[in-house]
Chain A
Amino acid sequence: MNAVTTVPSAAVAAEPIVRLDGIERSFGLVQALRGVSLSLKGGRALALVGESGCGKTTCARIISRMDTPTGGEMLYRGRNITQTGTAAEEKAYRRAVQMVFQDPFASLNPVFSVQHHLARPLALHGHARSKAERVQGVADLLNWVGLEPALTAHKFPHELSGGQRQRVNIARALAVQPDVLVADEPTSMLDVSIRLGILELVSRIKQERQLALLYITHDIATAAHVAEEVIVMFAGQMVEWGDTLSVIGDARHPYTQLLLSAVPDPDRPFMAGDSARFLGHAEEVRRLSRPSSAKVDQVGPNHFVRALGAAS
């Protein structure tokens, strides 16, 4: 076990598209993010996993520039973008980083057709100039996300199912040809039987378009399904991170172990009389995992764990 003094980023190989280095975000007395460092790379998926309030969505908002950090550095293709740049630079970054939100019902405008939702970003970002180009562009996008253009383009949001709407949202994100896709719980409001289809679509897009994918979830099982690398967060801090298989197969931090143990498992029925033990255990893990030391141990080629113990 090698002790490392600085917090290593979640990835080592390949030039990252977006990099966060020691990002801090505080809201008054509440420290929402404490020294978060990560890298998003083309063709790779990174999952941010943790309970509500752990800071994962704050992290996504900072990456998509809907929020600004109170400390640390942000880099885009090696260039420091922590401070707001020129209007042109901001526009370029916002084009490059696109989001897919949790609620497919609230994220499309009910008075516009699918065609309008997709043609607009194509036109605004100069990817389609004539009407014919826009129609073709919309058809291409719909094909990409597995929707039949002839059946979908003229429809309005209320005529689509939740899964179809989420596919339109993904198509809209792709319309501006981004190189980073931030997906915040993209399937949690969808029916179980269509969730895997959406996750597989996002994975395929990541692969074929060599996009960097940031997948945010409280469900460590889907994270394992989608992402090559995972960061487990607790109380604004990264507590364990690295290659997904290593982190899940050889979890070292008690909070990661707690998360894994709570994934529903049909082969392990709940037993009466167990609740006190589990509650006590969960409470103890939360107490131990409270913002703790800066000491990080490397336990595998790409697997890091924060040491327990009070911040010094």
Chain B
Amino acid sequence: MSEALLQIRDLSVDYLLDRGAFRAVKNVSFDIGRGELFGLAGESGCGKSTIAYAITRLAKAPAWVAGGEILLDGQDLLKLPESRLQEVRWRRIGMVFQSAMNSLNPLMRVEAQFHDVLRRHTGSSREKSRARAEEMFKLVGIPASRLTDYPHQFSGGMRQRIVIAICLALKPELIIMDEPTTALDVVVQREILEQVIDLQRGYGFSVLFITHDLHLMAQLCHRIGVMLKGELVEVGDVRQVSRAPAHDYTRKLWGAIPQLPGHPAVKDAIA
């Protein structure tokens, strides 16, 4: 692994409840290198999304970061004053969530939404934003002529690509993708993720990819961490985690997804 971009050190996150604190993330530590695709696998409630929110300081009450450090290039994001967070959010760390496609403003043309983000973060002019938006649309494979359309005129997969395009327009160093394709069908899922791989190669950003689907994660990531009940129970190279998983739970997750009965013809047809 190259030099670490993000270092999570001993992170603990609590949810404060009437009957006391529930520790959702327990002393979790891992690194993400520059240009590395790191996967965090686990089931609902295991704490993987809580980590994503903690990294971007989006964890809101009753969530409470109880301890640890989140170092971006050595700088602890947890100690950053609220006023300086804007320099980090979107600018250096982009986020694409499962429901991101529904987070586009239904009343604004897509072009205006690009401009909104670019103006706020880089002070870009309308013309500059337009040029950047056209460039980004081309990258995610949507004709630039559609920039004047409204969100409802796009399919779910296209809306998700638009969110990725807006996210990339600011050239972040790290993109957090929390179940970015779970609501989409397999063909669209593969279309989007193959594009992410291409873009990653071109731009060199790092990715924190969160999903419950280990099979998919193994196609995409260099290293994988597996979470169970708030703890990181296994971290390793994708080959090790898929061929020789050390933890019982990792083996259980692998076994949980039905595989196709052998179909070599198909594997070769398009592979």
Contact = CB atoms under 8 A, between A and B. Distances in A.
Contact of A221 (B184, B198, B212, B259): B259
Interface residues of B, number: 45
Contacts of A218: 185-186
B213 A192 contact: yes
Interface in A121-165: 162
A193 B253 contact: yes
Interface string B165-201: 0000000000000000000111111110111011011
A275 B197 contact: yes
Residue of A51, A219, A257, A261 ringed by the most chain B CB atoms within 10 A: A261
B256 A192 contact: yes
B194 A274 contact: yes
Contact of B191 (A196, A248, A282): A282
Contacts of A268: 219, 267, 271
B265 A251 contact: yes
B265 A261 contact: no
B19 interface: no
B103 interface: no
Contacts of A263: 186, 260
B193 A270 contact: yes
B20 interface: no
B198 A264 contact: no
B197 A248 contact: no
A270 B260 contact: no
A51 B216 contact: no
A287 to B, nearest CB: 14
Given A222-B258, A259-B187, A274 B212 contact: no
A248 B258 CA distance: 14
Contact of B194 (A52, A264, A270): A270
B106 interface: no
A265 interface: yes
Contacts of B235: none
A249 B197 contact: no
B270 A264 contact: no
Interface in A224-275: 224-225, 245, 248-251, 257-266, 268-275
A257 B270 contact: yes
B201 A264 contact: no
B198 A273 contact: yes
Contacts of A214: none
B260 A193 contact: no
A260 to B, nearest CB: 4
